[in-house]
Amino acid sequence: MSEDLSSKFILQTAGFDARFPNTNQTRHCFQNYTDYFKCIAAKGEDFAPCKQFKRAYNSLCPNEWISKWDDQRENGTFPASLEP
């Protein structure tokens, strides 16, 4: 059964981004989160390149931050513009 699961999922982390050369990836996390929502606002959720931003922020950001930001977006209090 474990062979079935391993063939369905590919584990990847976010690749190197020259904009964020330091070891602290906080800004990289936040930028990918905002880039994802800007991308889906402009191109739609089915646009494949947007999914790379989602994979990156899910890999880099703590789950608590993502939950907090999701709540802020829903309440209209998110601190950044998500307009494309």
Q: Which of 20-29, 49-58, 63-72 is predicted least confidently?
A: 20-29
The pLDDT value given to residue 31: 93
User: What is the tally of structural domains in the chain?
Assistant: 1
19, pLDDT greater than 90? no
Please report whether residue 50 resides in a domain: yes
Contact 30, 66 (CB under 8 A): no
Once rounded to an integer, what is the mean pLDDT over residues 23-41?
90
Identify whether the C-beta of residue 84 lies closer than 8 Å to the C-beta of residue 38: yes
User: Whole-angstrom Cα distance, residue 70 to residue 75?
Assistant: 9
Structural domain contains residue 4: no
Look up the CATH number of the domain holding residue 45: 1.10.10.140
pLDDT of residue 25: 77
Q: What is the pTM of this model?
A: 0.74
Identify whether 61 is part of a domain.
yes
Residue 71 pLDDT: 96
Domain residue limits at 55? 25-75
